[in-house]
Structure 1
């Protein structure tokens, strides 16, 4: 048993790593881990940014895939979830005060952990909300990050009972009226495979469910009104042409075509006005590409292999 990271029966902690806690913006404790490749020459470091409600443990398989390719992986839990500090004591609500706090935590992680302790060059691989943070922060990351891979970026809402416009208005009003810590739903999200909308793979779904069953302290419930308000404002800002023209980091957009949470059209529209980006659609895949069935997940990993230039890093001497 790792003292900071948690193993389950079919999800062992990858070896050759160090883990700890970073003081994030405002003194919030952020759990992080860095996983070294066993390859003699490192090809660089992937900064792996998870989605809302996820945890480092959920990415052990993907971390092993990346380190086997000669890449180090540096990752952390977002504030308010998993092994990082909760923002509403005694509550499992997913909450944040300001979206910029996510960005500040990413900047601190890069400055305090990745830059001094990992291997150049640096890349970002981000999923969903993590991809939204990366998009928002990208204009300031040009001198640190070589390339970005954004999987199912959380840039719009799909599959809701009301329009995104109405949700935006309600979330904003709730925040203004002091109800920002409240959620719009009761109970917990369903945990059975039959009702899940994020993966078609029963084995990986069961593995991830076991993580939260054995370590319930890592789980969170529905997002707060404040979280929604802050996130929706960020979506509107980062999908605007003015913001996208400021991003010069070469970016790969991975779009699962059966995503029930992020509209396929929204990612296609983003790709058309995002000059630094290239779009790859993975036909038939659902939202959580890295937790999907092998036939979809392998396409995502192959796209990353082709896009993140490990061999180029070695030729320029940056892999040392």
Structure 2
């Protein structure tokens, strides 16, 4: 099938050879970008890799290489409002979504693409941060995969105690005062890694991986995304609350969380995994938010654990 080709910056992605990207139209007319890589030889299945907020396809080229080395294809996405997908607001630096459930339209478009591309089955899910929230809702609403893994999933947001009253106030009044498309206070219009030195960053303890993130954005500045809008915070908190009320999917699952996690609410993760029959919580000592972009030892543990699980449930 002839699908519209989209740019894939292979030089900064460092993914397996032969990677490709496509433009995909969602049911509500938003153009998103999807990228995929295949392993050499016969594949054991395809990983649907759901990125976090501010992320983009190329950031997961090295992850796709890890999966390819273990025999799996990878399909990932620029969610609406980030990467090269359609941005919602005139200022493309603002991270915004009208309703968090809109991301499910992106999921539906992505899974249709997997069928059109005849990517190897079965499908498996890996959701990181915001992608963990999108992925969990997708599973609850019927996304068919053999098993799932999450890394630092956004099933709750870490809000400092002193800022919680402000966040609650802004979330409540923003729509009425027409503040919902303004930048969330305490955040910046520049992407985090562009303005934050490695020392003290909340993403990774590995300096090489942090330099890679910075270099990618320096090479392709259109991929950058700054802080979220007040509306993004409001609808994401609503989604986290909805997720918390739902039972866990009947699927094999491993969730990885760094002991140095400072971005998502780890209490919500412990609660979810405590009521996920057959689910496993893997607390990684010394890691921060991006466990797939941590030290080589941590990365090897995470990707090997994921793929062992997927191999067990190939159907």
TM-score (norm 1): 0.89
Matches within 5 A, 1:109-148: 109-111=110-112, 113-117=113-117, 118-142=119-143, 144-148=144-148
Which residue does the alignment assign to 2:182?
A: 182
Could you tell me which residue of structure 1 aligns to residue 34 of structure 2?
32
* Pair 276,231 (structure 1): closer, same or farther in 2 beyond 3 Å: farther
- The equivalent of 1:273 in structure 2 is 275
Partners of 1:34 and 1:75 within 8 A in 2: yes
Structure 2 residue aligned with 1:21, among 23, 38, 59? 23
**Displacement of 1:186 after TM fit?**
4.2
SS at match of 1:37: coil
Alpha-carbon distance change, 267 to 206 in structure 1, aligned in 2, over 3 angstroms: same
Shift of 1:252: 1.5
Shift of 1:18: 2.6
Q: Indicate the SS of the match to 1:135.
A: helix
Which contiguous aligned blocks of 4+ residues in structure 1 show a shift greater than 4 angstroms? 163-166
CA offsets per residue over residues 287-306 of structure 1, 9 Å max, x none?
01111111222221122022
Comparing 22-31 with 163-172, greater Cα deviation is found at 163-172
Q: 1:186 to 1:18 in 2, by over 3 A?
A: closer
Report the CA distance between 1:137 and its aligned residue. Answer: 1.7
Indicate the residue corresponding to 2:158 in structure 1: 158
Q: 2:251 aligned with 1:230, yes or no?
A: no
> 1:158 Cα deviation (Å)?
2.2
TM-score, normalization by structure 2: 0.90
Q: CA separation in 2, counterparts of 1:65 and 1:13?
A: 9
Aligned to 1:209: 214
RMSD, aligned α-carbons: 2.0
CA distance in 2, matches of 1:202, 1:161: 30
Q: Measure the CA separation in 1 of the matches of 2:168 and 2:300.
A: 36
2:293 to 291, 294, 303: 291
Q: Residue 255 of structure 2 is aligned with which of 225, 234, 253?
A: 253
CA contact (8 A) 1:122 1:146 kept: yes
**For 1:244, what is the secondary structure of its paired residue?**
coil
Counterpart Cα distance in 1 of 2:262 and 2:63: 22
The total of aligned residue pairs comes to 305
Q: Could you list the runs of 5+ residues in structure 2 that have no partner in the other structure?
A: none
Cα shift at 1:165: 6.1
Summarize deviations over 1:172-203 as a string: whole Å, max 9, x none: 32134321110123443333212411100110
Match for 2:201 among 196, 199, 202? 196
Aligned residue in 2 for 1:42: 43
Q: Find the counterpart in structure 1 of residue 9 from structure 2.
A: 6
Query: What is the 5 A alignment of 1:77-92?
Result: 77-92=78-93
Query: Which residue matches 1:301?
Result: 303
In 1, Cα distance between the equivalents of 2:68 and 2:15?
A: 13
Shift of 1:47: 0.3
The aligned counterpart of 1:69 is 70
> Given the superposition, is the C-alpha separation of residues 135 and 163 from structure 1 closer, same or farther in structure 2, using an over 3 Å criterion?
farther
- Give the C-alpha shift of residue 276 in structure 1: 5.1
Q: Matched residues in 1 for 2:154 and 2:175: separation? A: 21
Distance 1:194 1:153 in 2: 23
